[in-house]
Amino acid sequence: MVQEYLPNPLLIDGKKFDLRIYVMVTHLGSAAGAPLVAFIAEEGLVRLCTEDYSLPDKENMGNLLSHLTNYSLNKNSENFKYTPDLELNDGSKRTLSSVLKMLNLRDGINVASL
């Protein structure tokens, strides 16, 4: 896993989020020159924090629900919003395609370049 804590992250509804993009690797390649073979799933998942984000400081750094998107933490929050239809863009978990569409329409982000 590679990650970097950004001081000014892109937010959805005031909350940090992460993108879960699933990849299946069927061949790692070889010294003989055979290529890496990987397939990216057509759909992914977006997980949101259940507390609004604020720049980390000594007072709020321990508020895991505003800084970490882990489902195992946020599912127990009173603010966790379960939405049976992940396409609705109003829950704590959403489809990747619906969030990318929203980011494109709302923020003008060129999601094709992602």
Q: How far apart are CA 53 and CA 105, in angstroms?
A: 22
**Is residue 67 included in any domain, yes or no?**
yes
Over residues 48-99, the pLDDT tens digits come to: 999 999 988 899 888 999 999 999 999 999 999 998 887 778 899 999 999 9
Q: What percent of the chain has pLDDT over 90?
A: 61
Q: Looking at the 3D structure of the chain, how many domains does it have?
A: 1
**Is residue 97 included in any domain, yes or no?**
yes
**Is residue 99 included in any domain, yes or no?**
yes
Confirm if 66 and 52 have CB atoms less than 8 A apart.
Answer: yes
**Is residue 82 included in any domain, yes or no?**
yes
Domain of 91 in residue numbering reads as: 17-109
pTM comes to: 0.82
**Is residue 10 included in any domain, yes or no?**
no
Q: How far apart are CA 114 and CA 110, in angstroms?
A: 7
Q: Are strands 45-48 and 23-27 parallel, antiparallel or unpaired?
A: unpaired
39-49: average pLDDT? 95
Give the bridge partners for 95, in sequence order.
45
At 111 the pLDDT is: 87
**Is residue 5 included in any domain, yes or no?**
no
**Is residue 3 included in any domain, yes or no?**
no
At 74 the pLDDT is: 95
